[in-house]
Amino acid sequence: MINFNGILQDSDTNLLEQNRGFLYGDGVFETLKIVDGKILFFEDHYFRLMAAMRIVRMEIPMNFTLEYLEEQVLSLVKKNKIEQSARARITVYRNDGGFYLPTNNTVSFLIQTSAIVDPVYSISEKEYEVDLYKDFYIPKQLLSTLKTTNKMIHVTGSIYAKENDLDNCILLNDSKNVVEALQGNLFMRMGNTLITPPISEGCLNGIMRKQILSLAKKETNLEVVEQVISPFDLQKADELFVTNVIRGIQPITKYRKKEFEQDTAKVLNTILKQHLGMV
pLDDT tens, position by position, 202-214: 999 999 999 999 9
Task: Look at residues 196, 166, 200 and name the one whose alpha carbon lies nearest to residue 184.
Answer: 196
More confident residue, 17 or 188: 188
Average pLDDT over residues 250-276: 96
pLDDT of amino acid 12: 72
With beta carbons less than 8 A apart as the criterion, state whether 55 and 146 touch: yes
pTM of the model: 0.94
Task: Look at residues 197, 203, 185 and name the one whose alpha carbon lies nearest to residue 241.
Answer: 185
Residue 141 has pLDDT above 90, yes or no: yes
pLDDT band for position 243 (50/70/90)? very high
What is the per-residue burial (b if ≥16 Cβ within 10 Å, else e) of 185-224? bbbbbeeeebbbbebebbbbbbbbbebbbebbeeeeebeb
Average pLDDT over residues 31-54: 98
Radius of gyration of the chain (CA): 20
pLDDT of amino acid 209: 98
Residue 163 has pLDDT above 90, yes or no: yes
